[in-house]
Structure 1
Amino acid sequence: MIRGPKAERRILAKGPKDAMEISRQAVDEQLRACGHKRDADVLELFLSRKELTDVIDLSRFKKLKYLWLHCNKLHGIAFLTRNYCLTELYLNNNAIFEITGLHNLRSLHILLLHHNELTNLEATVKELKGLLNLKILNLYQNPLCQYNLYRLHMIHHLPGVEFLDRNRITNKERISTITIFNHEKSHILQSIAFGGKVDVSWNTIPPIKPKSTQHLPSDFTFANNVDKTVFANPEDAVFVRAMKRSAVTFTSVNWDTVPTRDEKDMQEDGAGPAQMRTITLR
């Protein structure tokens, strides 16, 4: 088919206005199909497979909870900054390369972003951190998934998520994130384990700083036990100090005075009582 000059000019003239008009028409069709006459009655919008490259501002639907936008050609989500009641958002199979503004949707419970063009892992995590109610998240088939330890990185920064990329997050994975990303917490958990040994091979700094030694002043006395008497002979000072210590007494049988079996047989008279030996130490 051969197009004339006028047809080619019409094709080149298509731009943002045409994209917004296509989006507006798609929204109006959905409203008519559902029989909605007021924006306040709109709880869901099904706008998938509409070849959309942009979407009109949807902030007028203040009670919107479910939004399907998968299988389009979207590049961003700037049209969703004020839909605070949104709980389920399906954006998979688009060409989205950034999700700026997503952190405002604090009620999101399900977010599907797989098969897109997200490359910046840190920027994506920063936006998702604000979604405290998020439980199900899909990010697979994005370039950022190629990062080393991608899954554990997401689990560490999004502790509330229960399913990531269609798989439930396990306790073993959560423990692994603590070991890898939070050395201090990992050391504490290991140190309070019942009967467990602490592996501190990853940390050359001792977890507990030794207390500094405190020296008593020269004029300090405690319970009048400090004797400041000066002796000419050091041995006298040692003797006096030893005499002030508490005495410890040990008493035991002197086995040298106990006769053997043969000696008992040879003795005519009854053997006397064994002698006791007492040792006193200070």
Structure 2
Amino acid sequence: TLLLLTVNVSVFLLSGMWLDRLIICYQAVEDQLKICGHKRDADVFELFLSQKELTEVIDLSRFKKLKYLWLHHNKLHGITFLTRNYCLTELYLNNNAIFEIEGLHYLPSLHILLLHHNELTSIDATVKELKGMLNLKTLSLYQNPLCQYNLYRLYVIYHLPGIELLDRNQVTEKERRSMITIFNHKKAHVIQSIAFRGKVDASWNPKSSFKKKAAQRVPSDFAFANNIDKTLFDDPEDAVFVRSMKRSTMAITSLNWETVPTREEKYLEGKETKPAQMLTITLR
């Protein structure tokens, strides 16, 4: 009986603490509504709830047209309170203690999401939650444990191709090409084949080891200086002439317009005209 009583008291105390936290958040929301002069929930487009020492947030689904929500610099651990705010476009959750973001996939209109300085550890779970957000363009995840992953940035860019600004840095075309090469070998192979007008080898396996070509060995008696013509000339002009004759030849051929008869010469004089000649100029 004593043990049961202790458990009930503990549950009651925890419930009381949780209720107190919700009351604090409710009061913060009401204060913001008074400051902004909103009397109807339908008129609320933005809420400033940053730096309120909040650990819990009340359900905000009553604000159907909420677009901008500031919750940074609090002590939040999760964001399950956002389930029906479909119009939300900007969400600032940086500088909290969030370790999971379950519930963000309910926000299809989200355009900006700041989650830096939190406790997110699983990059797979984070990316999975954000995959369906097609309108997301700006994302910040730095200063989270998941950033220690070696290919963290390329991994996020690959799974969230719509992202244009990641961790305050613009996503470049070079990064997009790199992430395809690393995470999608087949697509990279097809792109390279198309670029060089080659035929795609269907049997190509990116996991197979590459065969190294045998390097051609240089003959032991090979000497670079021995392959150079060392003939000496008394006159430097002779040396220049011999060297110029060894250069490659470039020929330019065009029609010699002086041999083409004019209209008067061809029809009026009645003389036999010779065929036009070609003029060739050879350069070294």
TM beyond 0.5 = yes
- Aligned counterpart for 2:84 among listed residues 65, 69, 82: 82
Name the residue aligned to 1:188.
190
- Match runs of 1:148-163 below 5 Å: 148-163=150-165
8 Å CA contact 1:190–1:197 kept in 2: the answer is: no
Aligned length: 194
Report the RMSD for the aligned CA atoms in angstroms. 2.0
Name the residue aligned to 2:67.
65
Name the residue aligned to 1:47.
49
Q: Compared with structure 1, are the counterparts of its residues 32 and 141 closer, same or farther at alpha carbon in structure 2 (3 Å cutoff)?
A: same
Paired amino acid for 1:140: Y
Paired amino acid for 2:167: D
In structure 2, C-alpha distance between the alignment counterparts of 1:56 and 1:84, rounded to whole Å: 17
Give 1:202 deviation, angstroms. 3.9
Per the alignment, in what secondary structure is the counterpart of residue 192 of structure 1?
helix
In structure 1, the gaps of 5 or more residues are 1-11, 206-282
Name the residue aligned to 2:102.
100
Per the alignment, in what secondary structure is the counterpart of residue 111 of structure 1?
strand
**TM-score relative to the length of structure 2:** 0.65
Give 1:203 deviation, angstroms. 5.0
In structure 2, C-alpha distance between the alignment counterparts of 1:72 and 1:36, rounded to whole Å: 24
Name the residue aligned to 1:112.
114
Q: Residue deviations 1:113-152, cap 9 Å, x none?
A: 0000000111101100011000000000000000120000
Give 1:195 deviation, angstroms. 5.6
Moved over 2 A (4+): 194-205
In structure 1, C-alpha distance between the alignment counterparts of 2:80 and 2:55, rounded to whole Å: 12
Give 1:99 deviation, angstroms. 0.4
Per the alignment, in what secondary structure is the counterpart of residue 75 of structure 1?
coil
Query: Within the alignment, does 1:24 sit opposite 2:23 as a pair?
Result: no
In structure 2, C-alpha distance between the alignment counterparts of 1:195 and 1:160, rounded to whole Å: 29
In structure 1, C-alpha distance between the alignment counterparts of 2:43 and 2:177, rounded to whole Å: 45
In structure 2, C-alpha distance between the alignment counterparts of 1:111 and 1:203, rounded to whole Å: 36
Paired amino acid for 2:130: L
Paired amino acid for 2:107: L
Name the residue aligned to 1:213.
none
Name the residue aligned to 1:239.
none
Paired amino acid for 2:174: K
Per the alignment, in what secondary structure is the counterpart of residue 49 of structure 1?
coil
Name the residue aligned to 2:37.
35
Name the residue aligned to 2:176.
174
Larger radius of gyration: 1
8 Å CA contact 1:68–1:90 kept in 2: the answer is: yes
Paired amino acid for 2:146: L
Percentage of pairs with the same residue: 75
In structure 2, C-alpha distance between the alignment counterparts of 1:204 and 1:55, rounded to whole Å: 52
Give 1:92 deviation, angstroms. 0.2
**TM-score relative to the length of structure 1:** 0.66
- Aligned counterpart for 2:126 among listed residues 124, 127, 132: 124
Per the alignment, in what secondary structure is the counterpart of residue 80 of structure 1?
coil
Q: Residue deviations 1:134-171, cap 9 Å, x none?
A: 00000000000001200000000000000000000000
- Aligned counterpart for 2:17 among listed residues 10, 15, 18: 15
8 Å CA contact 2:186–2:206 kept in 1: the answer is: no
In structure 2, C-alpha distance between the alignment counterparts of 1:120 and 1:202, rounded to whole Å: 27
Per the alignment, in what secondary structure is the counterpart of residue 40 of structure 1?
helix
In structure 1, C-alpha distance between the alignment counterparts of 2:207 and 2:117, rounded to whole Å: 40
In structure 2, the gaps of 5 or more residues are 1-12, 210-284
Q: Residue deviations 1:26-75, cap 9 Å, x none?
A: 00000000000000000000000000001000000000000000000000
Q: Compared with structure 1, are the counterparts of its residues 129 and 201 closer, same or farther at alpha carbon in structure 2 (3 Å cutoff)?
A: closer
